[in-house]
Chain A
Amino acid sequence: MPETVGTVKALGARAMAHRLFWPLAALGALLVVNLIATPTFFNVRIQDGHLFGSLVDIVRNGAPVLLVAIGMTLVIATRGIDLSVGAVAAIAGAVACVYIVKSPVDGAAGTAVVAITMALAVCVALGLWNGFLVAVVGIQPIIATLVLMVAGRGIAMLVTGGQITTVNNDAFAALASGHLLTLPVAALIALGVFTATQIVVRRTALGLLIESVGINPEASRLAGVRSRTIIWTVYVFAALCAGTAGLIIAANTHSVNANSLGLWIELDAILAVVIGGTSLAGGRFSLTGTLVGALLIATLTRTIPNIGIPAEANYLFKALVVVVVCLLQSPKARAVLQRRGDRTPTSREEAVA
C-alpha cells in the first residue's frame, strides 16, 4: 500500500513540476467554479447542426486573443514585444469593412474575400514596418511598436473617416458566427493557425533560430544566424495574426469602431504568453503554453459575469488570477512547494528504502 501512495506522490510531484501544471490547474478550478455557479455550464447541445454551449462560447470568444497571442509568442521569444497588435487589428477591420461598404456588390461573398485579402496585405506592410524599426534601425521593440500602437488607431480612424462602419455581408460575418462541421469558424481559424504555426516552427528550423536569437543575440550573430530576417519574419507574422483577429472581431459585430476594436488586446495576449510559461526575457517558448494561457483568459472573462461579480471589478479580478498563476509558476514558489512535498513522511520513508 505505501508503495502505491509513493508512486502517486511521485507522479503528483512530477505533474506539479511540469511547466503547465498551474495554468491547467487554474483553468480546471475556474471551470469548477462556473459549474457550481451554473450547474448547466458544461451542457453542450446541437441546434441546427451547430454546437452550442458555454464551453463552445469560450473557445469562440477566445479566438482573437489566442490568435494575437500566437504571434506574440514568437515575437517575445526573440526578446521582443509587439504593442501594436491592437491597433493593427483595428486597421485590418477598418480596411475590410470600408472596402465592403464602398463596394457596389457589398453583399457578395467575392467582395468579402477581396476585403479580407486586402486587409491581410495591409497587415504584412505594418509588420514589415515594425520589423524594420526593430531589426534594421535597432529601436527597442517596446518603443518601436509603441509608434504603431498610437499611430495605428489614427490610421484606422482615417480609413473609416471617424465613423462606425457597419457592414452587411454574410460571408464576412461567417468569420465570427459561422459554423463548419458543427464548430464555430472563429475557433477553427484560431486552432488552425495554432496547429500550422506549431508544425512550421518545429518542423523547420524557424523555432530553433528564433530561440537562438532570443537566448543570445551576439552568439547568434557570430554563428551566422540571419537575425534580421528572423526578427522581420516574426513581426510580420504577429501583424498577420493580429489582422486575422481584427477581422473576426469586426465580423462578430458586423461593424468596425476604430477607437475600440482590439483595444487592450495586446495586454491579454502578453498575459496569455506569460501564463503559458514563455519568459519575457526571450528564448525558449511554448505555443502549447500560450494556448492554455489564452483559454484561461477566455474562461476568466466568461466566469466574471457568470459568478455575479460586478462588471466594474472585472479587471481587478482578472489581475488577481493572473498574479496568482504567475507567482505559483515562478521558480521560487516551485522550489518551496517541492521542498514541502519532500518533507512529507512518505517520501522520507521512500528515501530510506
Chain B
Amino acid sequence: MSQAETKPPRPVVEMLDVSITFGAVRALDGVSLRLLPGEVHALMGENGAGKSTLIKALTGVYTIDSGRVEIAGVETRFATPAAAQHAGISTVYQEVNLVPNLTVAENMLLGREPRRLNGIGAIDRRAMNRRAAASLQGLGIDIDPGSELGSHPIAVQQLVAIARAVDTDARVLILDEPTSSLDADEVARLFEVMRRLRDQGTAIVFVSHFLDQVFEISDRMTILRNGRVVGERRVAETTQLELVQLMIGRDLQVLERLDHAAHEASGEAVTEQRLPVLSAVGLGRKGSLEATDLTLFPGEVVGIAGLLGSGRTELARLLFGADAPDTGELTVRGSSRRRLRSPRHAIDRKLAFCSEDRKAEGVFEELSVADNMLLGLQASRGWLRPIPTATRSTLVKEFMTALDVRPADPSLPMRSLSGGNQQKVLLARWLITEPDVLLLDEPTRGIDIGAKTQIQQLVADLAEKGMSVVFISAELEEVLRLSHRLVVLKDRRKIAERPNRGVDVNDVLEIITGEPGGLAEKERADA
C-alpha cells in the first residue's frame, strides 16, 4: 500500500467500483482491481467469491452493470473477448483451448498464419515454424515447433498456450488455475516462463488455490469474498494466515463457540477403543490425493478441513470408489479390499456419498421427488424387484416429514424444489439405504440458513444413533461445530489429525498455513 503511494507506476488495467448482477445475485459488488506492468498479481478467494466473474468482466465475456474499466488510463468497454484480446489482454484457461492434432507452430499462429505472396497465397510453413521457434525460445521453451501438440504433456501444452497468448503482444496475461494439473517440476518450469514475461513488463494475473505457489510467484494480491474486495496486499507484507482469514471471513465465530463446547462431552465417549467401521491405509490417486490414512469409528463424525483444492472432495470420492484409487487399501467392517472399484461396491458395503455438485452428480431434475428419494434403494434392489407401492409411500412419507421437505408433495418434479430441499431429498435417498458410513461433501453449500441448521442437526442426530459421518465443508466453523475428530488437508495431502477438543478456527488456520496465529490472537483480544 505504502509503496504504491510513494511512487505510483501507471497501472495498465484499472477496474473501478465494478458491479455485476445475475438475477437477484450480486456476483460483483463494487470491485476495484489494478494491474501494474511487470507484476504478478494473484486473485484469491474461495469458490463463488467472484474470481472468475471478475476475469470475465475484464475480458468482455460479461457486460458490467456499473463501474469503469480503464486500459492504460483510457476508459474502455470490451463488447467481446476478441476485442479484449485485440487490446492486449490474453487469457489462458485451465483447460487448454488448443487443437491437439495440429502442430505446435500451427496452434501458436492459428488464425494469423504467415502467407506467401504478401498475405494472399498459401501458408508459409517455414516462416510459421521460424516465428513459432523464435517466440518459444524467447520464453525458454525448448520444443520442436513442427511436432504435434497432442504428443506433449499437458504442462507443455499449457506453456504453448501461454506462448500463443503473449505472441499476440499481450500487455496483460491472465492465467486461470494454470497449475492445477501440473506436478512440481512442471510448475517450476511454468514459473520460470512467468518470471521472464514479468521482467519483460507484462502484467500477469494468477489465479490459483495453492497458497505456497501464490506466495512464491506473486508480487501483489487482491482478495475477494462474496463478490467484494476484502483486501489488496503486497505479498512481501502479508502472511498466509492473514490471507486465509480474509478469504474465509470469521463472522460467526462467537456464536459457534457456544454450541461447540456443548458437544465436546459426547466426543469423548466415541474415542473409546472400538472396532473401526472403515479404515483406509495409504489411499491415494495420482494428481488428486497423496497417500492418506483415515480411520472411522461407529457413531463418529470426522470433519475434513481444508481450502478449495486441498483434496477434501478427492478424499471422499476415493473412499466411495467414485474415482478409483491407484494406491492403498480400504477396509470396510474388517473385509479387506485393495480398492473399491465403483460406487456400486461402496453402496453394497453400506457406504453413502452426497456429492458437492448437487446438480451434476445428485439430482434427476425431471423425475419426481419420490423417485429421486427412492432411486438409491431401487438401484440396490435391481430393476426386477421394484419397491412395493405400500413400502414406497411409507418411506417417502416418513422421510418427507423427518427431513421437513417442502413443498410436501412427493409427486412434484425435483427441479421445482429449492437447493436446500433438493439436498434434503438427496440425504433421504441415502438414509433410506440405511448406510453405516455417510460421506457428506459440502452438504450445506448454497442453501438457506434454515435448511442448513436442519441438516447440521440431522448429522449430529445420526451420529448419536451410531452412524459414522465424514463431514466436508469449506466453512471451518461448521466443521468444528459438528465433528468429533478433525482431519486437515492442504495441497492434496493430510497434514494433521486431532480430536476436536478446544480447537478453534484460528488453530485450524495455523495448521493450514503453518504460521502462528499471532495476528488473530491479538484481534480476538481486541474484540
The chain A residues found within 8 Å of chain B, CB to CB, are 203-206, 208-209, 211-212, 215-216, 218-226, 229-230, 233, 283-284
Contact = CB atoms under 8 A, between A and B. Distances in A.
A278 to B, nearest CB: 12
A32 to B, nearest CB: 35
A211 B367 contact: yes
B344 A224 contact: yes
B382 A226 contact: yes
Contacts of B360: 216, 218-219
Interface string B352-378: 010100001111111100010001101
A224 B347 CA distance: 7
Nearest to A233: B383
Interface stretch (B74-82, B94-102, B262-270, B384-392): B384-392
Contact of B386 (A203, A222, A225, A226): A203
B460 interface: no
A88 to B, nearest CB: 23
A215 B367 contact: yes
A225 B375 contact: yes
B454 interface: no
A69 to B, nearest CB: 22
A204 B384 contact: yes
A283 B375 CA distance: 15
Contacts of A204: 383-386
B159 to A, nearest CB: 31
B383 A230 contact: yes
Contacts of A209: 378-379, 383
A212 B364 contact: yes
A211 B322 CA distance: 21
Nearest to B322: A222
Given A221-B342, A230-B383, A208 B378 contact: yes
A212 B365 contact: no
Given A212-B364, A215-B364, A219-B363, 16 more contacts: A203-B386, A204-B386, A205-B385, A205-B386, A206-B383, A211-B366, A212-B367, A215-B367, A216-B364, A219-B361, A221-B322, A221-B342, A223-B375, A223-B379, A226-B382, A229-B382
B342 A208 contact: no
Interface in B374-420: 375-376, 378-387
B343 interface: yes
Task: Give 10 nearest A-B pairs by CB, closest first.
Answer: A224-B347, A225-B379, A224-B379, A206-B383, A205-B386, A205-B383, A215-B364, A205-B378, A223-B376, A224-B344
Contacts of B361: 216, 218-219, 222
Contacts of B378: 205, 208-209
A36 B365 CA distance: 46
A222 B342 CA distance: 8
10 contacts: A205-B384, A206-B383, A208-B367, A215-B364, A219-B362, A221-B322, A222-B353, A222-B361, A224-B380, A225-B379
B366 A215 contact: yes
Contacts of A233: 383
B429 interface: yes
Interface string B57-84: 0000000000000000000000000000
Contacts of A211: 364, 366-367
B343 A222 contact: yes
A119 B491 CA distance: 59
- Residue of B355, B384, B385, B386 ringed by the most chain A CB atoms within 10 A: B386
Contacts of A208: 367, 371, 375, 378, 383
Nearest to A283: B366
B343 A284 contact: no
Given A215-B367, A219-B361, A205 B380 contact: no
A215 B375 CA distance: 13
Nearest to A226: B344
B345 to A, nearest CB: 9
Contacts of A205: 378, 381-387
A336 to B, nearest CB: 23
A301 B437 CA distance: 59
Which among A215, A221, A224, A284 has the highest number of chain B CB atoms within 10 Å?
A: A224
Most buried by B among A211, A220, A223, A230: A223
Nearest to A206: B383
A224 B343 CA distance: 6
B355 A222 contact: yes
Nearest to B381: A205
A224 B376 contact: yes
Contacts of A221: 322, 342-343
Contacts of B387: 205
A131 to B, nearest CB: 15
Contacts of B429: 223
A330 B81 CA distance: 33
A215 B342 CA distance: 20
A7 to B, nearest CB: 26
Interface in B322-362: 322, 342-344, 347, 353, 355, 360-362
A285 to B, nearest CB: 11
A253 B385 CA distance: 42
A215 B368 CA distance: 12
Contacts of B379: 209, 212, 220, 223-226
A62 B3 CA distance: 83
A223 B425 CA distance: 13
Select the residue from A206, A215, A216 with max chain B CB neighbours within 10 A: A216
Nearest to A211: B367
A212 B429 CA distance: 14
